[in-house]
Amino acid sequence: MAATPSILSAHTMRRSSRMTFSELEEWEKFLSCKEQECKSRTQQLDERLQSLIDREDEAATQLSQVAKREAQNALSQLEEHFTCALCYEIMAYPYTLNPARCGHTFCAICVLKWFFSRLHRVCGGWHEAVDCPICRSDLMITPDRVPRSGFTFPFVPNRVASAVIESLIDKLAGSSLPVVKQEDPEALRISDADKERRKQKRGGLKVEDGSLSSEADLDGWRQGGASRNEWLKRDSDGKREMNILVQSWSMLGSHEFLILKQRLEV
């Protein structure tokens, strides 16, 4: 018959009571050796974990630097090639002046304000040609008689510039620092001080060659940023006012032109 657990336990206790002092010393040394091996193994695992964490942080830093360089490049292109000469901001809903010999492009709302600033407040008409604010090329004089031909409309949408600008601004909007997902069940083994160090390192990633002002500029163009919101408003206002003018251009009279001039606050 198999021995019951209570009998085995009693048998084990009797054997331990018969162990000699030298046997106990040997057993203690054995346990001590095993304990050291466990500690050594634990230390090796912690070192490997820390190495992986450091590599992860390094990868996150490199990704953030790449993202920031791309954002800086996008903002540089916008400022260099798509700055409105009237408001000195990034063009919003860009339109080009109609005469082929001119072709300069501005924000829709800016070019409308500039155009209607030449409208006579008394009669609501243009009695002389309006010239380009850059090259001084004359636009076609707006006929007083209606219906007007669509060829007399002084502006042309610059769809190529609009597509490039929107693409670059969308890139800036999504240029937040990437976050590397971590799923590490052994992260609990890291000390609180190490966790705080990692948090500060990730939360404060900076590119050494970037200035505080450039970082603030990039922040302004991300989702919810002041620069992006202001551009979206100018884009929306320009689109609304230009579409109204395009649709009703052929039949607008002096009274309607004066109302539009007042609404544009020029």
d(CA 180, CA 169): 24
CA pair distance 88, 81, nearest whole angstrom: 12
**For helices 212-221 and 226-248, angle between their N-to-C axes, nearest 10 degrees:** 50
Residue 185: pLDDT band by 50, 70, 90 thresholds?
Answer: very low
Q: Kindly indicate the confidence band of residue 209, based on its pLDDT and cuts at 50, 70 and 90.
A: very low
Q: From the centroid of its chain, how far is CA 112?
A: 30
Residue 114 CB neighbours (<10 A): 20
Distance, CA of 94 to CA of 84 (rounded, Å): 9
| DSSP-derived 3-state class of residue 131 | strand
Q: Is the pLDDT of residue 155 over 90?
A: yes
Express each pLDDT in 211-231 by its tens digit: 444 778 889 999 999 999 999
Average pLDDT, the chain: 81
Residue 227: CB atoms within 10 A of its CB come to: 19
Residue 195, pLDDT above cutoff 60? no
Tell me the pLDDT tens digit for each residue of 41-99: 999 999 899 989 988 888 888 888 888 888 899 999 999 999 999 999 999 999 999 87
Average pLDDT for 166-193? 60
Indicate the residue type of 138. D
pTM over 0.85: no
H-only helix segments in 104-191: 108-116, 159-173
Angle value at C-alpha 23, between 22 and 29, nearest 5 degrees:
90
Res 216: pLDDT: 81
Q: Is the pLDDT of residue 33 over 80?
A: yes
Which domains are seen in the chain, by residue range?
A: 22-175+209-263 (3.30.40.10)
Is pLDDT of 192 > 70?
no
- Look at residue 100 and tell me whether its pLDDT is greater than 90: no
**For a pLDDT cut of 90, what percent of the chain falls above it?**
43
Q: How far apart are CA 79 and CA 90, in angstroms?
A: 7
